[in-house]
Structure 1
């Protein structure tokens, strides 16, 4: 053990200083066109949830609840400007469950085990984006057009000899199609705030010899108000202007 420590110490002592030289980055001067995420809007949403949570075993009391908001969908439907939100609240509930060993319970004490239960509470809503910081680029619609060529064919018997069938060729198919690959708006979750109220709906007394007021439950009715703040973006082409570098920077670039 000591030999290994001495070897590692020797390797660390062999570490020497090394020099580094700064380099000026290669940048474009003047006006350039860049493709960047553009902020379309920042929105605050409020959702109301009312759900029932059923525990896998009797619960004496809830010790702690940890929550995390997760979005599974945030989709702007153009050109309606309607924003569809879907997700869930991940809840990890730590609780005390009465011990199955009844002999450990007395008239003045209750033995319990500490457990946890994780559940996902789903939510969804639709809202309208009424104000844009930057206008979204509307999707271009695909197009498809058919075209034919004129043909003249002789007519069968029963028609005048000089007459011809003037039409298009049914044995051929011609088409021009155009597809546009539009940039899809996307979201970022900025912040979330949850106010909740949990209340047991089936609480009963523990047993006749249990301490006064003690009981257990397996179902909780939960009411939550969720405040979300989301940022709506879209990749767009933007013109970027940059000022001319100073003499020192220009000198550095020439040297490189």
Structure 2
């Protein structure tokens, strides 16, 4: 036993060191890794800035997945998301100082944009096979009904059929476990190039210019785990250390 002092109540609480562990063959339900995939996604996008850009200083990127769906009973995996890009750039500012043939004044701004991507791939080799969904069922049944016939039919004859004024049905629903994904890692290689770069107006260094649009080409490598909660059997022979 170990003692822990509780300042609020001024009491010493005793906690057991060893938790109770069931012994034997036990069925539990845990996430099971179905596949670990390395995917490469190609993205091409045009980004328009809200003001003239003298130069890009830095770009911070973060990958977001909005959909990762294994479409059972097929092997197709649908991936959808976006890359959040925070672009820090210098914008020419004549309010600070008018440009000269040797200098250009600018101030630092940032622009955040989401670049979407999506891809469909096929899982060819499963580490563990997924539990396939069970189909819901719905079956209709009837009961026989006999009744007397009206005049014009033999007295001993009966009208035998199902009763259309009644409806009987048996249905079942299965609540299957949906596979899901974990994003493990990402790697981005990008190329950004100005589309409309022009010289600065007025008196300015000849090599300086500004632009408002860039074309971005990006190669996105991501690694994901595809998981599904499944029942598995575990064994324990002792609840000792």
Q: TM-score, normalised by structure 1?
A: 0.86
| Structure 2: distance between partners of 1:170 and 1:19 | 71
Instruction: Say whether residues 1:39 and 2:33 are aligned partners.
Output: yes
Instruction: Say whether residues 1:81 and 2:56 are aligned partners.
Output: no
Check the 8 A contact 2:149/2:159 in 1, yes or no. yes
How has the CA–CA distance of structure 1 residues 100 and 152 changed in structure 2, closer, same or farther, with 3 Å as cutoff?
farther
How has the CA–CA distance of structure 1 residues 161 and 20 changed in structure 2, closer, same or farther, with 3 Å as cutoff?
closer
Q: Hey, which bits of structure 1, 4+ residues long, moved more than 6 A?
A: none
| Structure 2: distance between partners of 1:213 and 1:106 | 12
Instruction: Say whether residues 1:90 and 2:73 are aligned partners.
Output: no
Instruction: Say whether residues 1:181 and 2:172 are aligned partners.
Output: no
Tell me which residue corresponds to 1:60: 54
Q: Which has the higher strand share?
A: 2
Tell me which residue corresponds to 1:104: 98
Q: TM-score, normalised by structure 2?
A: 0.91
- Structure 1: where are the runs of 5+ without partners? 1-15, 250-256
| Structure 1: distance between partners of 2:54 and 2:85 | 18
- Structure 2: where are the runs of 5+ without partners? 1-9
How has the CA–CA distance of structure 1 residues 233 and 209 changed in structure 2, closer, same or farther, with 3 Å as cutoff?
same
More divergent stretch after superposition (77-86 vs 204-213): 204-213
Q: What is the RMSD of the two structures over their aligned residues, measured on CA atoms?
A: 1.7
| Structure 1: distance between partners of 2:43 and 2:54 | 25
| Structure 2: distance between partners of 1:99 and 1:135 | 61
Shift of 1:101: 2.1
| Structure 2: distance between partners of 1:117 and 1:144 | 55
Shift of 1:27: 1.0
Instruction: Say whether residues 1:210 and 2:192 are aligned partners.
Output: no
Aligned partner of 1:133 among 116, 127, 136: 127
